[in-house]
A = this chain, B = another copy of it.
């Protein structure tokens, strides 16, 4: 069966402020040493298993210029622009409708645009395995990640930790669990029955559309109407009319928590959701003082700092465990233990109507 992929690139991640902005979210930033942006890396690691002409990008239409600039090899007609953000369920339904216009049926991988993978070959092998499972019946497949710490920022998957010849490397999912508190998270990590929900899904177009028809019939009918208009002069008008009416619901909540025949394949490919500036400690090389330094930097008695500058000189003296990020119009200086409070800076800026910094 034909394999296609949907890369979801509509996010507006605030945790990489001030480098990330409303008009330049994380997926369009380069955070690794190779200079490639997150979405470029996402496409790159997919190309050995999916052709460029079968890769679809769903995004907010504001980001269309960024996508065509960063991904010149993706056909323009594969870029699906949402008039407004409506979380992942409507986004996936819309993309499924688009893809079903081209292929009667096909495997659809659904992948975030702003995560990193260390071992591409293992990633590709895992997705290939997942495709096989997704091709059978009305299976829904999700890639789970074996947790190595009690993370409270992710959803979890409770799975049946039992090998059967039937499904091979795939395991039956018992249920999806929303972001737990620390105590619960510790329990999950200790129990061996939980994986992190990485937000990567695989299914047939026909399967997921059936699920929408059953669990989110309004969205299903809406996207069918949109599908009929695709390629006609009415396309934009119909999309504009229908899409904003969809509820803002995640695929986890809208479909996965309700459907049956859900399988998970644990991914062991060095997954990283690059959730905050601290992730740079995992993905970039530090120098002999434990500093991760880019730009025009002079450090004196400075250790274990993340310093991301530009051409402007940054001099640090006697610092430890800070994150320093400089951009043209804003500088962030943040204690490593307080990165979760970066959003408070943005709240403050919003309240003060200082939208130029958002």
Please give the residue numbers on chain A whose beta carbons come within 8 Å of chain B beta carbons, in ascending order: 18, 298, 300-301, 312-319, 322, 324, 326, 329-335, 337-339, 341-342, 344-345, 348-349, 354, 357
Contacts and interface: CB of A to CB of B under 8 A. Distances in A.
B300 A317 contact: no
Contacts of A337: 318
B317 A344 contact: yes
Contacts of A313: 18, 329-331, 354, 357
A338 B298 contact: no
Given A326-B331, A331-B312, A357-B313, A349 B298 contact: yes
Given A301-B338, A338-B301, A331 B314 contact: yes
A335 B354 CA distance: 29
A345 to B, nearest CB: 4
A317 B342 contact: yes
Among A312, A324, A348, A349, the most chain B Cβ lie within 10 Å of the Cβ of A312
B341 A301 contact: yes
29 contacts: A18-B313, A18-B315, A300-B338, A300-B341, A300-B344, A300-B345, A301-B338, A312-B330, A313-B354, A313-B357, A314-B330, A314-B331, A314-B333, A315-B331, A315-B333, A315-B334, A317-B332, A317-B333, A317-B334, A317-B335, A317-B339, A317-B344, A319-B322, A319-B334, A319-B335, A322-B333, A324-B333, A326-B331, A333-B333
A342 to B, nearest CB: 6
A318 B330 contact: no
A313 B330 CA distance: 4
B300 A316 contact: no
Given A18-B313, A313-B329, A333-B333, 8 more contacts: A298-B348, A301-B338, A314-B331, A314-B333, A315-B345, A316-B334, A317-B333, A331-B331
A318 B298 contact: no
A315 B341 contact: no
A339 B315 CA distance: 12
A295 to B, nearest CB: 11
Given A319-B333, A333-B322, A345 B298 contact: yes
Nearest to A332: B315
For the complex of A and B, list the 6 residue pairs with the smallest distance between their C-beta atoms, beginning with the closest.
Answer: A318-B338, A318-B335, A317-B334, A313-B330, A315-B345, A300-B344
A344 B299 CA distance: 9
Contacts of A344: 300, 317
